[in-house]
Amino acid sequence: MVKKLTFSLSAWLLLVYALAQVAFFYPRWEKTGTEATLSWDVFGYYLYLPAIFIYDDPHELKFKEEIMAKYQPAGDFHHAYQNEDGSWVMKYAIGQSLVFAPGFFIAHALAEPLGYAADGFSAPYQAAISLTALLIAFLGLFVLRKVLLQFYSEVVTAATLAVIVLATNYLNYSAVDGAMPHNTLFTLYAIILWLTLRWHEAPRRVTALWLGLAIGFATIIRPTDIMVAAIPGLWGVAGIPSFRQKIMLLWQRRVDVILLGVGMFVMGMVQLSYWKYAAGSWIHYSYGEFGFYWSKPEVWLGLFGWRKGWFVYTPVMILAVVGFVPLFRYVRESFWAILLLMIVTIYVVFAWEIWWYGGSFGARPLVQTYALMAMPLAAFFTWIANRKLLSGLVLLLTLGCTYLNMVMTYQAHAPNGGWEAEFMTHAYYWKIFGDPHPDKADKKFLDVRHDIGNDADYRKELLYHNDFETDTLAHRSKEQVFAGDYAMLLNDSVQFSPAFQMPINDFLDRDDAWIRSSAMAYFPYMEWNRWQMTQMVMQFLRDGQMYRETTARIQYAMEPGQWGRYFFEMPINSKARPGDEVKVYFWQAGGQTPIFIDDWQVEVVWKE
Specify whether 403 is located in the same domain as 460: no
Average pLDDT over residues 168-190: 98
Q: How far apart are CA 578 and CA 571, in angstroms?
A: 15
SS (H, E, C) 249-303: HHHHCHHHHHHHHHHHHHHHHHHHHHHHHHHCCCCCCCCCCCCECCCCCCHHHHH
Q: Is residue 438 part of a domain?
A: no
Q: According to the model, what pLDDT value does residue 4 have?
A: 58
Answer whether 434's CB lies under 8 Å from 460's CB. Answer: no
Query: Of 411, 431, 458, which closes a domain?
Result: 411
Q: How far apart are CA 603 and CA 600, in angstroms?
A: 10
Answer whether 97's CB lies under 8 Å from 45's CB. Answer: yes
pLDDT band at 502 (very low <50, low <70, confident <90, very high): very high
338-377 pLDDT, tens per residue?
A: 999 999 999 999 999 999 999 999 999 999 999 999 999 9
Share the mean pLDDT of the chain: 96
What type of residue is 354? Answer: I
Q: Is residue 163 part of a domain?
A: yes
Q: Is residue 439 part of a domain?
A: no
Specify whether 80 is located in the same domain as 158: yes
In the predicted model, is pLDDT for residue 6 greater than 90? no
Buried b or exposed e, range 140-156, using 16+ CB within 10 angstroms: bbbbbbbbbbebbbbeb
CA distances from 502 to 413, 506, 584 (A): 44, 10, 9
Query: Of 411, 433, 456, which closes a domain?
Result: 411
In the predicted model, is pLDDT for residue 3 greater than 60? no
pLDDT band at 608 (very low <50, low <70, confident <90, very high): confident
97-125 pLDDT, tens per residue?
A: 999 999 999 999 999 999 999 999 999 99
Q: According to the model, what pLDDT value does residue 322 have?
A: 98
Average pLDDT over residues 1-23: 86
Q: How far apart are CA 291 and CA 351, in angstroms?
A: 9
Average pLDDT over residues 183-196: 98
Q: Is residue 135 part of a domain?
A: yes
Q: How far apart are CA 364 and CA 380, in angstroms?
A: 23
Specify whether 357 is located in the same domain as 459: no
In the predicted model, is pLDDT for residue 308 greater than 70? yes
Answer whether 299's CB lies under 8 Å from 347's CB. Answer: yes
Q: Total structural domains in the chain?
A: 2
Average pLDDT over residues 400-427: 95
* Strand partners for 607: 458
Q: According to the model, what pLDDT value does residue 84 have?
A: 86
Query: Of 411, 432, 460, which closes a domain?
Result: 411
206-264 pLDDT, tens per residue?
A: 999 999 999 999 999 999 999 999 999 999 999 999 999 999 999 999 999 999 999 99
Q: Give the total residue count for the chain.
A: 608
Q: Tally Cβ neighbours within 10 Å of residue 437.
A: 12
pLDDT band at 91 (very low <50, low <70, confident <90, very high): very high
Residue 508, SS3 per DSSP: coil
Q: How far apart are CA 311 and CA 313, in angstroms?
A: 6
CATH of the domain at 520: 2.60.120.260
Q: How far apart are CA 277 and CA 269, in angstroms?
A: 12
Q: Is residue 416 part of a domain?
A: no
Specify whether 461 is located in the same domain as 354: no
Specify whether 401 is located in the same domain as 451: no
Q: According to the model, what pLDDT value does residue 454 have?
A: 86
Q: According to the model, what pLDDT value does residue 2 have?
A: 47
The alpha carbon dihedral of 272, 275, 280, 286 has a sign of negative
Q: How far apart are CA 313 and CA 243, in angstroms?
A: 37
Specify whether 397 is located in the same domain as 459: no
260-287 pLDDT, tens per residue?
A: 999 999 999 999 999 999 999 999 999 9
546-563 pLDDT, tens per residue?
A: 999 999 999 999 999 999
Q: Is residue 433 part of a domain?
A: no
Specify whether 239 is located in the same domain as 310: yes
Q: According to the model, what pLDDT value does residue 574 have?
A: 76
Specify whether 594 is located in the same domain as 507: yes
What type of residue is 191? Answer: I
* Strand pairing category for 535-542 and 545-553: antiparallel
493: buried, middle or exposed (CB in 10 Å: 19+, 13-18, 0-12)?
exposed
Answer whether 302's CB lies under 8 Å from 360's CB. Answer: no
Query: For residue 479, what are the domain limits?
Result: 445-607
Q: How far apart are CA 99 and CA 111, in angstroms?
A: 19
Query: Percent of the chain having pLDDT more than 90?
Result: 93
pLDDT band at 427 (very low <50, low <70, confident <90, very high): very high
* pLDDT top residue among 412 and 453: 412
Q: According to the model, what pLDDT value does residue 1 have?
A: 42
Percentages helix, strand, coil for the chain, rounded to the nearest 5? 50, 15, 35
* pLDDT top residue among 386 and 524: 524
